[in-house]
Chains A and B, each alone.
Chain A
């Protein structure tokens, strides 16, 4: 680029003039100072329980949209539930980062099976998974069920299966879980909320 002496002076004086005008308060963009808008405004708030440990902290999950038919919500934020007596709004570092676990690209989203002798996980349908689990359970129960103990007392035990219920289960879901498992004869029964 070739700049003549005259052009150089023109550019300099224009620059000087412009910056002087800006300095005197005639800035072309009167920038409006505004904080970032509150990102949870009108987001859908859903209560849940943190799935990590037995403390079972209450969390609030914020999703986009208002649950209307055509707008599937996306989680935009998770924070502690102040009304939950366990944590009263606080969370540990794992709980505070819950959203990244929910939306992790490595998260398991469907049932997979590794067949005996295979070293690969194969995706299967939920129906198929439930059926396979039911068949395994039935076979195991038929094999190991203890109807009476050695004194001849009816006990109806299924000692070879243990069950672990979710920490996010409500009282009602917990009641049903116990009812169902006890009916099968399960004695080793626990919940993630207690471990």
Chain B
């Protein structure tokens, strides 16, 4: 069922290219921060749909609960109080996987098929292939994946790939009572964002804009921000995220060189074996050594 509607764009640690002929609709989730009331219906709906339950934590004196993403909380609301233009503003951002077009996690992942990018834009983790190395955490420019202590596997938002596969919206988008989370084709979401940005500008937020960072090729979870010029205000949303140069170098240029060196070593040891043969110790020397040991 699922494979009929979801074409794979790329797999982690796989060099054979995926079929590219079919074109499917590119989807996106739009989070309008200006319309969010921080009710956390999305957090609950996410856990409900994905059959994960986080532990009941403790109150840290702020609205954030849980305080950070976990292997069971794939989305959390982050509340920040900032002063802008002499006014207190309470900025609430729904944090979670951004589903980058150029995903750093997938690039860094060494386990074949543990991270999949579908042609609709979803970046999904397949836990049965995950080896729990944690490279995806290092590779992610948004610090999203979390490794479970129970099974040592990485978990994060799937953008409800199982729902999207049967043309349903993600659980969070469906539940959102203020319509702050919208879901549809990326094109439609950009159009809708434009109307929201225009409305915000009319209401005095001159720097309102869409957050769709090009450093990672654009994302499939986008934000409408009132202060698009200062994304860091929103609980340290990175201003210009990109795949870490370490990951790019390591998985880009360094990988074929290392592979070639490895091949060369294997080949030369084969030649060495054929030409020189095994390194044998003569019986006499062996006896001598045994004598010395016995003394």
A residues adjacent to B (C-beta < 8 A): 13, 16-17, 20, 23, 25, 27, 31-39, 41, 77-80, 87, 89-97, 99-100
Contact = CB atoms under 8 A, between A and B. Distances in A.
Interface string B205-247: 0000000000000000000000000000000000000000000
Contacts of A91: 41, 45, 175, 177
B175 A13 contact: no
Contacts of A95: 41
A90 B177 CA distance: 5
Interface stretch (B124-132, B133-141, B193-201, B282-290): B124-132
B49 A77 contact: yes
B1 interface: yes
B263 interface: yes
B44 A96 contact: yes
B190 interface: no
B274 interface: no
A35 B43 contact: no
B162 A38 contact: yes
B262 interface: yes
Closest 3 CB pairs of A and B: A31-B113, A96-B44, A35-B161
B269 A13 contact: yes
A149 B239 CA distance: 75
Contacts of B48: 77-79, 96-97, 99-100
A175 to B, nearest CB: 30
B116 interface: yes
Interface stretch (B82-90, B96-104, B163-171): B163-171
Given A31-B128, A90-B176, A96 B162 contact: no
Interface in B20-79: 39-41, 43-45, 47-49, 51, 53
